[in-house]
Structure 1
Amino acid sequence: MCESAHHMKKLRDNLIQKHTPLPIISLDPIVAEIDSYMKLDVVCVDVLEFRRSSGDQFYHLKRLAQIILGIPVTSTPSEEVFSTTGLILNAKRTALAPENVGKIQMIHDNYELL
């Protein structure tokens, strides 16, 4: 019985070793940057302060944050576009081509710059 148990344990260890994924060693700088960031043990409430203090250590993550955090959290800009388009397309202007509606919309939105 002891020899059978030893054989089963060895078989189990071989199976575990065979099916355990190897650590991913990547030469990709973005993956390395994310891995470096995930290993940080920093408690920082102010995101901007963390970005200033980390400098250019996390360049790709900084760019990603700029893109994501630049997205407006409200639908107000799109609602303004629909409202203005509703004013442009009235009963007398139903035959306007889409590109002309776009041009009128741009003039309306940028009128103060003229």
Structure 2
Amino acid sequence: MNTANSQHQEGFGHVVPLGTLLAVFAALIVLTVITVAATWVDLGSANLFLAMGIAAIKATLVALYFMHLRYDHPFNALVFVVGLLFLTLFLGLTLLDTKQYSPEIQAAVETPV
């Protein structure tokens, strides 16, 4: 019997303790409350970055614990992080473009038809 194959059995997932799942769930609820509370405070353009940061933390918690990425092969974590970086890059470029055309869009909205 090969010892390398006997240590890792295919078909069996990692069982996460209930306490860990409940703690992550509670953290997600707290982060959701913080996201809603952040809408009551006017931080200017920082509101968007705050909301995106909180959403990234929540997505990371879900991927790590509910999708078992924390207990998986490190290459999968690398793929997740690279995907998150590309998503940030693409959203950032989109937001820059939106900022560029914002005066034209605002003028079009205010002009009666």
TM-score bracket relative to the smaller structure:
under 0.3
Higher Cα radius of gyration: 1
Q: Which has the higher contact order (CA 8 A, sep 6+)?
A: 2
Tell me the TM-score normalised to structure 1 length: 0.27
